[in-house]
Amino acid sequence: MTPRVREILSWYRGENPGVVTNLARLLNHGRLGGTGRMVILPVDQGFEHGPGRSFAVNPPAYNPFYHFELAIEAGLSAYAAPLGFLEAGAAEFAGELPLILKCNNHDLLHKEKDPIPAMTAGVDDALRLGCVAVGYTIYPGSDHRVGMYEQLRELVADARSAGLASVVWSYPRGADLSKEGETAIDVSAYAAQIAAQLGAHVIKVKLPSAHLELPEAKLVYEQNKVPIATAAERVRHVVQSAFDGRRIVIFSGGETKPDEAAILDEIRAIRDGGGFGSIIGRNSFQRKKPDAIKMLTDIMKIYGGEMK
């Protein structure tokens, strides 16, 4: 157990040993094990965007085994996916890497401004599949957020009873938010805070922009000169907003970008801003496997200090 992992685990002293054990598994697995940073492979796009749109560019990715193998070969910290994808490989890859069961999902066959995901799995499933954590997406700003917060509350409580950790994707969305506002720095910081207050152990948000969405917040940010000009500063503010850095906050990669250099710059900003790592889906499995492994290795080198 490295001092940094011990330090991070100390922030969760109030949790039972089962939860802390599973957080330790996440922090100690793979190439970044022990550094206090993590890179997770999430593959829920088959459900969230459809299979053709997600996998046609790299057809081996239709196969659930592919993602287990990619995450294992690259030495990632964990693999996160919905029920079906985990069920289809959990027996074959049992014990090879930490799994996170994504317990709610949303699809695009019905349009709505205020997204409402469905609960598609639970703690019983996570336990029988050997997972270390459950995952759940909240959409702060959605007209349906109350139901999500309450569903999450139950999920986290059930997970705790089972000694599992909780990972929360916090994505502001809803009719009251502008498109730009969904990744505004004030809104992103707010989303991280909400997830932390709801009891998340690991929080995933999108990399924020310098836009300020909420008028009352804008005023305060400007009066107090909160530094948000650079990506690293914005990462720092989001991490600060999650209990002054006492919660693990990781950032998502977003849409596929062919240019690896641009991605690595984002990673450097996360590192410099004190972020705890990345969760990289499309940019991983929509590349050919060797390309993906190379890129993920570079990313982990940056986080691990082997590369600038």
204, 218, 288, 294: the catalytic one is 204
Q: How far apart are CA 245 and CA 80, in angstroms?
A: 23
Q: Please give the residues from 79 up to 108 whose contact with a copy of itself meets the rule CB under 8 A.
A: 82-85, 87-92, 105, 107-108
H or E segment and range at residue 40? strand 38-42
Q: What's the closest the beta carbon of residue 137 comes to a copy of itself, in angstroms?
A: 13
E strands, 103-161, are 104-105, 118-119, 133-138
Q: Tell me how far apart the alpha carbons of residues 298 and 74 are, in angstroms, rounded to a whole number.
A: 10
Which CB sits closer to a copy of itself, 38 or 184?
184
Q: How far is the CB of 169 from a copy of itself (least distance, A)?
A: 15
Nearer to a copy of itself among residue 114 and residue 298 (C-beta): 114
Site string for a copy of itself, 198-237 (x = CB under 8 A): xxx-------------x-xx--xx-xx-x----------x
CB 139, CB 148: distance < 8 Å: yes
Name the nearest CA neighbour of 37 among 307, 304, 306. 304
> What residues between 153 and 182 interact with a copy of itself by CB under 8 A?
153, 157, 172, 174, 176-177
The span of 72-80, 139-147, 274-282, 291-299 binding a copy of itself (CB under 8 A) equals 139-147
8 Å CB contact between 138 and 170: yes
Q: Which positions from 36 to 65 touch a copy of itself by CB under 8 A, shown as an x/- string?
A: ----------xx-xxxxx--xx-x--xxx-
From 110, 229, 255, 290, residue interacting with a copy of itself (rule: CB under 8 A) = 110
Is 149 a binding residue for a copy of itself by CB under 8 A? The answer is: yes
Angle between helices 260-272 and 289-304 (to 10 degrees): 30
Site size toward a copy of itself, by CB under 8 A: 86
Grouping H, G, I as helix, E, B as strand and the rest as coil, residue 228 is coil
Give residues with Cβ within 8 angstroms of 65, minimum separation 6: 88, 89, 92, 93
- Stretch in the footprint of a copy of itself (CB under 8 A) among 26-34, 69-77, 238-246, 294-302: 238-246
Active site residue 204: yes
Q: How far apart are CA 33 and CA 171, in angstroms?
A: 27
Q: Between residues 32 and 185, which has the closer beta carbon with respect to a copy of itself?
A: 185
Residues tagged active-site: 204
